[in-house]
Amino acid sequence: MRLNKSKEYLKGKKGFIFDLDGTLVDSMMHWRSFKWGEVGLEEVYDVMRGLYKEHIPVKRDSLDMLQVFSELGIKCCIATATRSSVCSPCVDRVGLSPYIEFIICNDDVGKSKQHPDIYLEAANNLGLEVSETVVFEDQLYAATTAKNAGFTVVAIHDEQSAKDEAALRAVADDYITNYSELLE
């Protein structure tokens, strides 16, 4: 397997920054099930910690895609809003760890994904320029932030963000329904 030649925007890219929830793992249904405002973040993290450890699955074709990227020498990392201590057990359990250089979260940079800091720091930690890096996101606000910061952006379909598909398609350089579209 190799990168799909029709995906011109991937040509010459050396690093890929992946969101985690809804992008590499199917967890957004759980995040969206909470009655935010009635429960606090620490309570949510307590529940999510258990789900990450035992139940949340990897998205289809994620592992195959990451293996190909690794074989091609493309550096990959995770940039997530979720605390690393909460989501790391899932990353390990589903087999993403061998392909990921590091996990960086909002807490590490002190700002949400409404600011580009997490993506800029991730690219810097990969030792790459923005122009050499692709960001993969499922959320419109995060994809918009990365795009406005100069990154090439690939939006990945997730049922939980399907309502924003048209807007994601307009913001991102590409919109894919699964990772097999990047490979041939």
Sorted by where each begins, the domain ranges of the chain are 8-182
The confidence score (pLDDT) of residue 53 equals 93
Assign 150 a pLDDT band (cuts: 50, 70, 90).
very high
Q: What percent of the chain has pLDDT over 90?
A: 71
- Res. 160: pLDDT tops 90: no
- Res. 2: pLDDT tops 90: no
C-beta separation of 32 from 150 below 8 A: no
Give me 13's structure tokens: 């890219």
The confidence score (pLDDT) of residue 70 equals 92
C-beta separation of 171 from 143 below 8 A: yes
Rg (CA), the chain: 15
State mean pLDDT over 75-87. 94
Arithmetic mean of pLDDT over the chain: 92
- Res. 134: pLDDT tops 80: yes
Q: Tens digit of pLDDT for each residue in 47-64?
A: 999 999 999 999 988 998
Q: Tens digit of pLDDT for each residue in 8-42?
A: 888 889 999 999 999 999 998 899 888 888 988 88
Model pTM score: 0.94
Task: Please state the CATH superfamily assignment of the domain spanning residues 8-182 in this structure.
Answer: HAD superfamily/HAD-like (3.40.50.1000)
Sheet holding 133-137, edge to edge: 103-105, 75-80, 15-18, 133-137, 152-156, 174-176
Q: What percent of the chain has pLDDT over 70?
A: 100
Helix, strand, coil percentages, rounded to 5, for the chain: 45, 20, 35
Lowest model confidence (mean pLDDT) among 26-40, 129-143, 166-180: 26-40
